[in-house]
């Protein structure tokens, strides 16, 4: 059933792209590749790995593994309005309602046999211990072997070497399960694709910094989080190129993402994954544009094709959600300056100990550079905990306050 669902989705998107073959259609191309991953996960033909977020997916793609981080499943279930029964299943099994909604949805889906059985699992300690815990539970449910990448918090040469050695061990772990060693030529091609996509992503983010911005509050939703799934593939290059082309065309035509853009906003950490009116409210009623997301940034150097493991390790350690909070605050401050932001919104995802626990420090850090922050109380996956009226009121008050402040220079 799920295989056919994703196969039909991919076919429908391909048809729409072919109707406008001369247009970049970046969001459609992004959705198409996502649907293709879904169909491969459920095909019963591919070697499947469920993973954590900070895994080197370009390496897995080079080894012919169809992989996906489990939080993506929670987001997809919420986006399609199908999360509720799986959240309830997890809660009935003892996973309490104030834990991460992404992980509760995944556990419920696995218990109801909706997730395809993996050949193996690979977890990472970044960005949170909850991610490791859910992978341990999935490994138990599926009775499959789990490999854990321990991503150091400290960004040092010693830490990079330590993680690079683990990545080498991961390659051996995967090869043992597939019976196929890593092909060095395929790895080199994957590194080349990753570096090309990285350069294009850097360029499209720079275009998004223009005032007014060519992006809007939806076009790059989850982009920096999901694009790593495509790393190492030609599709990653094509998607990044399509976004850059779209932004270039909009700039040339004087067609900003939000007409008459008045306010420029940063979204911190998780987007609200289920259908909700908040972005439309911001854009239509206040001409307020979410021009930047916390993870929509290039924070890592190009990979060295002669030493890719070191570069992959450095990339994982450099993820803004990894390490001490001061590093994360500096990253957010950099975004605020580069994008000439007026304010920031932090949903403080209910159940995310890391995100909610840091909100006071993040607010203080951004206020140091004059950027106001609105902290909400939202479960980004479980719409049962979404108080729309209250959130709308708080959002309106925040935007009206921003409108009455002097605009940063």
pLDDT reported for residue 287: 97
Terminus-to-terminus CA distance in the chain, angstroms? 54
User: Which residues are registered as beta bridge partners of 146?
Assistant: 121
Cβ neighbours for 46, distance < 8 A, ≥ 6 positions apart: 40, 65, 66
pLDDT reported for residue 405: 84
**Tokens 């330590």, located at residue:** 162
Cβ neighbours for 182, distance < 8 A, ≥ 6 positions apart: 59, 62, 63, 171, 174, 175
How far apart CA 146 and CA 385 sit, in angstroms, is 32
How far apart CA 271 and CA 349 sit, in angstroms, is 9
Q: Is cis: bond before 127, omega within 30 of 0?
A: yes
What the chain holds in terms of domains, given with CATH numbers, is 2-184 (3.40.50.11890)
How far apart CA 356 and CA 78 sit, in angstroms, is 20
pLDDT reported for residue 407: 64
**Tokens 């499209």, located at residue:** 204
Report DSSP letters for 363-405, one per residue. Answer: HHHHHTTT--EEE----SS-GGG--HHHHHHHHHHHHHHHHTS
Q: Do residues 405 and 371 touch, judged by C-beta distance below 8 A?
A: no
Print pLDDT tens along the chain (409 aa). Answer: 678 888 999 999 999 999 988 899 999 999 999 999 999 999 999 999 999 999 999 999 999 999 999 999 999 999 999 999 999 999 999 988 888 999 999 999 999 999 999 999 999 999 998 999 999 999 999 999 999 999 999 999 999 999 999 999 999 999 999 999 999 999 999 999 999 999 999 999 999 999 999 999 999 999 999 999 999 999 999 999 999 999 999 999 999 999 999 999 999 998 999 999 999 999 999 999 999 999 999 999 999 999 999 999 999 999 999 999 999 999 999 999 999 999 999 998 888 877 778 899 999 999 999 999 999 989 999 998 888 999 999 999 999 999 998 765 5
pTM of the model: 0.95
| Closest alpha carbon to 35 in 12, 65, 60 | 12
User: How far, in whole angstroms, is CA 22 from its chain's centroid?
Assistant: 28
Q: Do residues 281 and 56 touch, judged by C-beta distance below 8 A?
A: no
| H helix intervals, 210-352 | 223-226, 234-253, 278-286, 308-317, 325-338
How far apart CA 55 and CA 148 sit, in angstroms, is 10
Would you give the DSSP letter of residue 217?
T
């Amino acid at each position: 059933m799920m295989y056919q669902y994703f196969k039909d989705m991919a076919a429908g998107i391909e048809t729409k792209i072919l109707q406008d073959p001369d247009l970049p259609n970046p969001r459609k191309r992004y959705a198409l590749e996502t649907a293709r991953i879904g169909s491969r996960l459920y095909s019963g033909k591919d070697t499947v790995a469920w993973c954590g977020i900070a895994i080197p997916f370009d390496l897995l793609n080079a080894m012919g593994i169809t992989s996906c981080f489990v939080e993506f499943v929670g987001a997809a279930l919420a986006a399609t309005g199908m999360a509720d029964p799986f959240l309830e299943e997890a809660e009935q099994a003892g996973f309490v309602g104030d834990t991460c909604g992404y992980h509760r949805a995944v556990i419920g889906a696995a218990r109801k046999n909706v997730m395809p059985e993996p050949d193996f699992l690979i977890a990472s300690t970044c960005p949170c211990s909850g991610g490791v815990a859910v992978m341990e539970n999935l490994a138990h449910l599926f009775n499959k072997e789990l490999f854990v990448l321990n991503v150091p918090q400290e960004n040092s040469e010693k830490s990079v070497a330590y993680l690079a050695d683990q990545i080498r061990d991961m390659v051996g772990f995967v090869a043992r399960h597939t019976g196929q060693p890593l092909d060095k030529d395929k790895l080199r091609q994957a590194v080349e694709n990753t570096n090309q996509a990285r350069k294009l992503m850097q360029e499209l983010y720079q275009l998004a910094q223009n005032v007014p911005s060519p992006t809007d509050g939806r076009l790059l939703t989850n982009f920096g989080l999901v694009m790593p799934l495509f790393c190492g593939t030609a599709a990653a290059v094509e998607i990044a190129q399509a976004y850059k082309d779209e932004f270039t065309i909009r700039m040339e035509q004087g067609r900003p993402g939000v007409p008459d853009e008045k306010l420029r906003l940063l979204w911190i950490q998780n987007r609200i994954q289920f259908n909700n009116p908040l972005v439309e409210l911001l854009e239509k009623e206040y001409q307020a544009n979410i021009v930047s997301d916390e993870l929509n940034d290039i924070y890592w150097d190009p990979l060295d094709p002669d030493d890719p493991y070191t570069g992959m390790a450095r990339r994982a350690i450099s993820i803004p959600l990894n390490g001490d909070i001061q590093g994360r605050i500096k990253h957010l401050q950099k975004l605020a300056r580069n994008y000439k932001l007026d304010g920031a919104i932090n949903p403080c995802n209910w159940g995310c100990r890391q995100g909610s626990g840091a909100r006071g420090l993040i607010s203080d850090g951004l206020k140091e550079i004059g950027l106001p922050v609105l902290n909400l109380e939202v479960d980004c996956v479980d719409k049962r905990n979404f108080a729309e009226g209250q959130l709308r009121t708080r959002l309106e008050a925040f935007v009206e306050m921003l409108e009455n402040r002097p605009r940063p220079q």
